[in-house]
Each structure stands twice: as structure tokens, then as C-alpha cells.
């Protein structure tokens, strides 16, 4: 995509395809205004930063557009100078609201015209066709945002945040993406880049002007400067464990032997009767899934078949799926019956999740007075009653604690939610660690600088300063057409 002509005027539907109350067609480029006006009949002139009510009209006979210039037709019309009669009105297709953003005060820094019409796919498609007939080009996926990046309005982390904002499933995800769009991650990375550049400059000067007795930092000073960059980078890299869950959500499997109340607990967390609940053991034969929001993070809950010696083939298949869900889940709720002694199946499950992120849930706490399952288990215990609702709030809090605790502090300073960013930060930190080792081993500064440059380049790639066309193609190809 970076090889496309950025001087073209592009057009695309900016709202989701399908029927709706309103649909928006966006044109961006040097001829956006000239291409849009001939298909419009406006109440007044189109001015920058203003929205104008008007009509979408059919093109004049003999041409794709209404005129050959860039002036709109007005509702009042003008009289034909040869006949003194008003020209025949062109047929109206729809009422529209037209917004004009003049360069450079627009999303892409180009001239942009947005035509808001009723959300009929036929009408919206016709607007696009009229623009294409007059010389516009259909936008590539993400091309509007890519132009904003290439024209210097946003950096690459902000461009990627646009996609994350569009794909948000929870309000918290949207807030995090909005913070990234405002440059939260860039502001965290930029000072580290600056410190690294300053260290490189000092060492380069010491090499280039050695004959002029330019002082070079002693080894302790170099190590101190490297640590001032490395420590924050390592902290940033660690934030990805939480940021990945914010971005992708997590999978939580509810497991246990039959009739311990897994489906009832599942329904309590979902807050509706999603899974079938009966008094008979083994009701759940297949996996039942539902996504809920806990602490602003999407959590896919999986209700599984009760784990025991199977009585028939269908139950055997269900139990096998339960074990697969347990193995694949990010977090496991091991549910036991608080009203009964621990069974061998309970102990086996606890042994299986001993090294996994897991929570032990004693359900049916309304039928028992004291915990019975915590003995010998290192897991955090939460006592619940799916019937009365006792302990459900505490269970949600414990799930959130496993997710990452309180996110507020991290959200204020920016954290990693993107695998590409995490890999680049990790690579930069590894190069700095190699540089620190080189200093301690008294390696010449010429070789040390190679490690420092290896640390600097990944940080440039985060914001897009040295990003290759292949990477840009990969990033922007995941965007929707109109963005």
C-alpha cells in the first residue's frame, strides 16, 4: 500500500456496509471538493469546517457529474441566459448533509468531503459510483488512516490505536485505545529514544574526535545511561502480560465433577439462564460459551461437562472436550461441592491445575458452614452459592485480580497491548543488555555502538520512523475499507 499514489483522490463508504439510519461516504484528496459538488444541490456554499444541508441529485445528461467545474447547484437555481427560463431541475435522489474539512485541518491532512445520506446501500453505492466516474479511486483498506500517518498527522502507534478503538468490545478497551490514540505509548517511548540517541552521540563524538581530546564517558557513566533506558524498557515489556488480556480478552473454563453447580455458577456470572440446570448429574454434555465483561476485559466463560467416569459415548465426548477446554483456558475455576466431602475427582482436578492460573470455588456454601476443600490446596479459595448469590461479587473480584489487578496506574502511562510492540521492546532491551555486557568486558566503543544502534532501531519501528513497506502493508491491510 505505501507505493500507491497519495495524490489521488480516494472514496469509500466510511460506515459499516448494510442498511441503517445514516451512511457516510468519504472523499479525500486534492479533488475531493470538485468531485463532490456536482452531484449535490446545496442550500448554501460549502465552507471549511461546516456542515450543509442539501440534496443528492442525478448527474446532468451527457456527463457523469453535474458540471465541469467545482461549484454546486443551489436550490434556487439560475435562469438559462438564452431562453430566460430556469433550467429543468435534476431529479433528487436523497437528502444529505455534507461536511467539508479543508487541508491541512482534516483527518488525513487532505481536503475531505463527507456526504451523510440515508443508510440505503443503493444510495450510498451510487454516491461512490458517481465519484469514481468523475475520477476518484476506491480507497484501499486503511488508506485514510495510512495517509494520516504518512502525512505526519499521527505516528504508527496512534494509527494502530485507531484499529483497536474500532474493534473494542468493552468501554475500557475503548478508553485504552483512545489513550493510545492520544499518544500515551509514544510519550512513554520517546524519552527513552532520546536518552539512547544522546548516548550514541557522545560515543560517536569520542570516536570521531579522539585526536582532539574530546572526553568520552567512563564505563560507569555509560552503564548508568544504559540502565536509565533498560529498566523502563523492561518494565514496559512486562506490561504486555496485562495489555494482551485487555486487547484480546481471556478464556475461563469452569470445571468440576457432575452436580457441583458449574452451570448454575456459569448462569450467575453471565447474569441470565444460559446453561440448562437440573438436579440430575451430567446435564451438560457439550461446551457452553458466553462472553462477559469483568473489570472492562472480555472474558469468555466456558461451562464444561462434569468430569467423572463416563456412562455413555456422548458423555465421554463431552468429558474429553472439558479436558481440552481446561488445557486451553487462560484461567480455570475448579468448582467443588461445599456440602460434601472432597471426592477423588476433585483431588485429581486440583492436581492437574496445580501449576496453572486457577481459582478454587466452593459452591453450595449455603448448605455448609465451614470450608472443606482448602485443605492441601495452594489455590485461592472463594466460597459461593449460585442459588443465593453469596460470594459472586468476591469471585468476580478474584477473577479480575488474576487478570492483572488494578489497571488504573498502567492505563495512565500507556502500556503494551500489541504483540508487534512487545517484540520490538523485547528486542531493544536485549540489545541494551548486550551493550551493558560489552561495557563490562571493555569492548571497544565501535563495537558497543552496534549494540546501541540495535537497541535504537526497534524503538524507531514502534512509532514508524524506520518501518518498512512490508510492515505497513501488514498493519493497514487489517483495517476496514473506509478507515
Q: Is residue 308 part of a domain?
A: yes
Dist. CA 483–CA 481, nearest whole Å: 6
Same domain? For 398 and 254 the reply is yes
Q: Is residue 388 part of a domain?
A: yes
> What local confidence, expressed as pLDDT, does residue 66 receive?
40
Dist. CA 112–CA 145, nearest whole Å: 13
Write the secondary structure of 130-175 as one string of H (helix), E (strand) and C (coil).
Answer: HHHHCCCEECCCCHHHHHHHHCCCCCHHHHHHHHHHHCCCCHHHHH
> What local confidence, expressed as pLDDT, does residue 77 receive?
46
Q: What is the CATH number of the domain that holds 123?
A: 3.30.1360.120
Same domain? For 396 and 422 the reply is no
| Burial tier of 477 (Cβ tally within 10 Å: 0-12, 13-18, 19+) | exposed
Peptide bond preceding 465: is omega within 30 degrees of 0, i.e. cis?
no
Residues of the chain with pLDDT under 50: 63-69, 76-79, 280, 407-412
Global confidence as pTM: 0.75
Same domain? For 375 and 257 the reply is yes
Q: Is residue 164 part of a domain?
A: no
Which of 90, 122, 155 is where one domain is finished? 155
pLDDT tens-digit readout, 27-58: 999 999 999 999 999 988 888 988 999 999 98
Same domain? For 134 and 277 the reply is no
* Cβ-contact 173, 164 below 8 angstroms: yes
Same domain? For 251 and 399 the reply is yes
Interacting residues of 450 by C-beta distance below 8 A, sequence separation 6+: none
Alpha helices in 25-142 (DSSP H): 32-36, 121-133
Same domain? For 250 and 391 the reply is yes
> What local confidence, expressed as pLDDT, does residue 475 receive?
73
Rg from Cα positions in the chain: 31
Which of 374, 403, 432 is where one domain is finished? 403
Collapsing DSSP to helix, strand or coil, 41 comes out as: strand
Same domain? For 212 and 255 the reply is no
Tally of domains within the chain: 3
> What local confidence, expressed as pLDDT, does residue 287 receive?
78
Collapsing DSSP to helix, strand or coil, 336 comes out as: strand
> What local confidence, expressed as pLDDT, does residue 412 receive?
47
**C-alpha cell, 253:** 473454563
Q: Is residue 33 part of a domain?
A: yes
Q: Is residue 51 part of a domain?
A: yes
Same domain? For 250 and 330 the reply is yes
Collapsing DSSP to helix, strand or coil, 438 comes out as: helix
Which of 352, 371, 403 is where one domain is finished? 403
Interacting residues of 71 by C-beta distance below 8 A, sequence separation 6+: 37
Q: Is residue 2 part of a domain?
A: no
Same domain? For 225 and 345 the reply is no
> What local confidence, expressed as pLDDT, does residue 407 receive?
45
- Sheet containing 358-363: which strands, arranged edge to edge? 288-294, 297-303, 250-255, 331-337, 358-363, 380-383
Dist. CA 374–CA 109, nearest whole Å: 62
Same domain? For 234 and 264 the reply is no
String of DSSP letters for 160-219: HHHHHHHT--SHHHHHHHHHHHTTHHHHHHHHHHHHHHHHHHHHHHHHHTGGGT-----H
Q: What is the CATH number of the domain that holds 204?
A: 1.20.120.430
Q: Is residue 471 part of a domain?
A: no
What domain range includes position 182?
A: 171-239+414-463
Same domain? For 111 and 195 the reply is no
Q: Is residue 435 part of a domain?
A: yes
Same domain? For 277 and 226 the reply is no
Amino acid at each position: 500500500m505505501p507505493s500507491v499514489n497519495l495524490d489521488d483522490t480516494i472514496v469509500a463508504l466510511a460506515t459499516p456496509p448494510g442498511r441503517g439510519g445514516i451512511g457516510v461516504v468519504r472523499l479525500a484528496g486534492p479533488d475531493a471538493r470538485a468531485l463532490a459538488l456536482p452531484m449535490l444541490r446545496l442550500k448554501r456554499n460549502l465552507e471549511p469546517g461546516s456542515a450543509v444541508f442539501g440534496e443528492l441529485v442525478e448527474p446532468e445528461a451527457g456527463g457523469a457529474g453535474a458540471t465541469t467545474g467545482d461549484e454546486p447547484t443551489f436550490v434556487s437555481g439560475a435562469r438559462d441566459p438564452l431562453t430566460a427560463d430556469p433550467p429543468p431541475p435534476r431529479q433528487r435522489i436523497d437528502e444529505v448533509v455534507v461536511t467539508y474539512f479543508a487541508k491541512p485541518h482534516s483527518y488525513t491532512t487532505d481536503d475531505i468531503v463527507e456526504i451523510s445520506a440515508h443508510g440505503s446501500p443503493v444510495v450510498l453505492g451510487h454516491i461512490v459510483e458517481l465519484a469514481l466516474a468523475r475520477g476518484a479511486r476506491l480507497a484501499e483498506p486503511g488508506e485514510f488512516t495510512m495517509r494520516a500517518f504518512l502525512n505526519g498527522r499521527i505516528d504508527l502507534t496512534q494509527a494502530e490505536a485507531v484499529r483497536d478503538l474500532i474493534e473494542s468490545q468493552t468501554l475500557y478497551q475503548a478508553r485504552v485505545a483512545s489513550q493510545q490514540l492520544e499518544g500515551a505509548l509514544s510519550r512513554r517511548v520517546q524519552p527513552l529514544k532520546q536518552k539512547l540517541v544522546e548516548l550514541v552521540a557522545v560515543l560517536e563524538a569520542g570516536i570521531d574526535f579522539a585526536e582532539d581530546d574530546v572526553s568520552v564517558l567512563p564505563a560507569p557513566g555509560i552503564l548508568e545511561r544504559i540502565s536509565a533506558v533498560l529498566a523502563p524498557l523492561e518494565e514496559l515489556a512486562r506490561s504486555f502480560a496485562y495489555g494482551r488480556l485487555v486487547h484480546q480478552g481471556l478464556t475461563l473454563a469452569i470445571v468440576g465433577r457432575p452436580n457441583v453447580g458449574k452451570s448454575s455458577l456459569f448462569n450467575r456470572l453471565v447474569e441470565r439462564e444460559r446453561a440448562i440446570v437440573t438436579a440430575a448429574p451430567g446435564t451438560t454434555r457439550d461446551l457452553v460459551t458466553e462472553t462477559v465483561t469483568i473489570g472492562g476485559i472480555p472474558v469468555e466463560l466456558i461451562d464444561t461437562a462434569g468430569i467423572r467416569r463416563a456412562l455413555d459415548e456422548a458423555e465421554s465426548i463431552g468429558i474429553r472436550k472439558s479436558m481440552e477446554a481446561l488445557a486451553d483456558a487462560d484461567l480455570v475455576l475448579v468448582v467443588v461441592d461445599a456440602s460434601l466431602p472432597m471426592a477423588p475427582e476433585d483431588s485429581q482436578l486440583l492436581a492437574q491445575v496445580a501449576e496453572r492460573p486457577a481459582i478454587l470455588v466452593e459452591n453450595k456454601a449455603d448448605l455448609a458452614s465451614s470450608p472443606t476443600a482448602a485443605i492441601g490446596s495452594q489455590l485461592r479459595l472463594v466460597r459461593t452459592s449460585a442459588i443465593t448469590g453469596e460470594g459472586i461479587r468476591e469471585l468476580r473480584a478474584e477473577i479480575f485480580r488474576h487478570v492483572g489487578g488494578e489497571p488504573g496506574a498502567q492505563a495512565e502511562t500507556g502500556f503494551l497491548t500489541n504483540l508487534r510492540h512487545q517484540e520490538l521492546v523485547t528486542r531493544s532491551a536485549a540489545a541494551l543488555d548486550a551493550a551493558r555486557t560489552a561495557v563490562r568486558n571493555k569492548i571497544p566503543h565501535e563495537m558497543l555502538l552496534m549494540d546501541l544502534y540495535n537497541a535504537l532501531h526497534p524503538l524507531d519501528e514502534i512509532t514508524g520512523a524506520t518501518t518498512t513497506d512490508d510492515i505497513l502493508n501488514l498493519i493497514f491491510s487489517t483495517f476496514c475499507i473506509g478507515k
